[in-house]
Amino acid sequence: MSVSATARNVIAPALRWGYRLRVHGAHRCPRRGPLLVAAPHLGFLDATVIATCLPRPVDVLVDPGGLAAVGGKAPGRVLIDAADPGTGLREAVDTLEAGGAVGAWVGDGNERAAGYLLARTGSPVLPVVVLGGSGRHAGDLPGWRARVDVVVGDPVLLDAPADPASRAEVLLLAEAIRQSAVDHAERARQRMGYVDGVGVEDRDTATDNGAS
């Protein structure tokens, strides 16, 4: 079993114990083959939730941050250092080409990494959004037993360009990925009853087994 899978088996139950976490549409997540998970980065828990609470392990692109102090390694993370982004992106390409799943962010230009990965691998794109993944501010943890909804969209197949090295083609793919993820997030907010990132209706206080 991989380190990422082991971490998932430990962290996911802890998250479900600490929060009322539900995964909606888990059946839409392909269980095998390369997969590019695209999500807006809305809250503190987003990377951890995406890495551990979907039906399969996902290695999520992150900047080094505090991980630099521990050698820059962590299960379920692919570090993208601004000083040398190529190393992390090559690692992500290798993961996808080996049939793994990689999570990438959209918004504020972050979707360019997703566009590059799609151009290189032609992987299906899975829109996902984590709602309620932070406290009052985006950098805060949610409160104890807070509601957290993970909403999985339908996989999207986008044509890889004939020239994956073309910057213009990568940017077009990046925008298509961003739009798909943003549209999914907006539909999910409406469906789940979230306003400004807060669930206005706490419909169900039970934990979920990830199969809904």
Q: What is the mean pLDDT of residues 155-179?
A: 94
Mean pLDDT of the chain: 88
| pLDDT confidence of residue 23 | 98
| pLDDT confidence of residue 196 | 63
List pLDDT tens digits, range 104-163: 999 999 999 999 999 999 999 999 999 999 998 888 999 999 999 999 999 999 988 889
Q: Indicate if the pLDDT at residue 101 is higher than 50.
A: yes
Q: Strand, coil or helix: what is 179? A: helix
List pLDDT tens digits, range 26-55: 999 999 999 999 999 999 999 999 999 999
| pLDDT confidence of residue 201 | 52
Dihedral, CA of residue 198, residue 202, residue 205 and residue 207, to nearest 10: -50
| pLDDT confidence of residue 116 | 96
Cβ-proximal residues to 1 (8 Å cutoff; 6+ apart), any chain:
none
- Gyration radius (Cα) of the chain, Å: 16
CA distance 64 to 110: 15
CB 12 within 8 A of CB 53: yes
CA distance 79 to 190: 33
Dihedral, CA of residue 176, residue 78, residue 6 and residue 208, to nearest 10: -30
Distances 182 to 17, 18, 55, 70 between C-alpha atoms, Å: 29, 28, 22, 33
Backbone phi, psi, residue 35, to 5°: -150, 130
| pLDDT confidence of residue 202 | 47
Q: Strand, coil or helix: what is 61? A: strand
Percent of the chain surpassing pLDDT 90: 71
Instruction: Name the residue ranges covered by the structural domains of the chain.
Output: 3-195
Nearest to residue 202, comparing CAs of 141, 138, 131, 152? Answer: 131
Q: Give the pLDDT band of residue 73 (cuts 50, 70, 90).
A: low
Q: What is the mean pLDDT of residues 172-191?
A: 97
Q: Indicate if the pLDDT at residue 96 is higher than 90.
A: yes
What is the residue whose two structure tokens read 């961003």?
A: 178
CB 23 within 8 A of CB 152: yes
Q: Give the pLDDT band of residue 1 (cuts 50, 70, 90).
A: low
CB 76 within 8 A of CB 52: yes
| pLDDT confidence of residue 151 | 98
